[in-house]
Amino acid sequence: MPRRIALFSLLVPDYDEALAFFGNIGFRCLEDTDLGGAKRWVRIAPPSGETEILLARAANERQIAAIGEQGGGRVWLFLETEDFDADYRMMQAAGVQFEEAPRDEPYGRVAVWADPWGNRWDLIEFARPDRGGTDR
């Protein structure tokens, strides 16, 4: 069996707020299981996405302080698209705030945006099937 990153945790202040935001930009809720003690196992993914995000409600001071800072201020999440213009327009209509206008780079068409908690993302349509690289 090949290895892959199945999912990663994204710290959020509230499960339902995060579900609403990501739902507005087309992510699917794959699972929302009550674990008791105000904890839930909430998995989301973009349409056709292979890697899932586990929404993790911050539960202590250290985790609360890390919300939006998991990437240390860098773009650390990359939302790949096969139709940049359509997804850019859809996300703008859903209220996503882009930090810049779309730009063309050797690795693809890209625009940086932030989720409501400050995590920086690229919306990216890669120029090559091998996905080329960035060093942000």
The C-alpha atoms of residue 90 and residue 66 are separated, in whole angstroms, by 29
What is the predicted pLDDT for the residue at 136?
43
What is the predicted pLDDT for the residue at 82?
94
Question: Which residue did the predictor score with more confidence, 130 or 113?
Answer: 113
CATH of 71-136, one of 3.40.80.10, 3.10.180.10, 3.40.50.300, 3.40.1190.20: 3.10.180.10
Q: Does the structure show a pLDDT above 70 at 105?
A: yes
CATH number for the domain running over 1-67: 3.10.180.10
Which range has the worst mean pLDDT, 3-12, 29-38, 93-102, 127-136?
127-136
Between the alpha carbon of residue 130 and those of residues 72, 84, 104, 126, the distances in Å are 26, 17, 17, 8
User: Could you tell me which residues are beta bridge partners of residue 62?
Assistant: none
Tokens of residue 41, six digits: 């196992």
Supply the pTM of this predicted model: 0.91
CA 116 to chain CA centroid, nearest Å: 11
pLDDT digits 0-9 by tens, 43-91: 999 998 889 999 999 999 999 999 999 999 999 999 999 999 999 999 9
CB atoms near residue 109 (< 10 Å): 17
User: Could you tell me which residues are beta bridge partners of residue 23?
Assistant: none
What residue spans in the chain does CATH classification 3.10.180.10 cover? Answer: 1-67, 71-136
Between the alpha carbon of residue 12 and those of residues 32, 72, 103, 115, 132, the distances in Å are 15, 15, 29, 10, 30
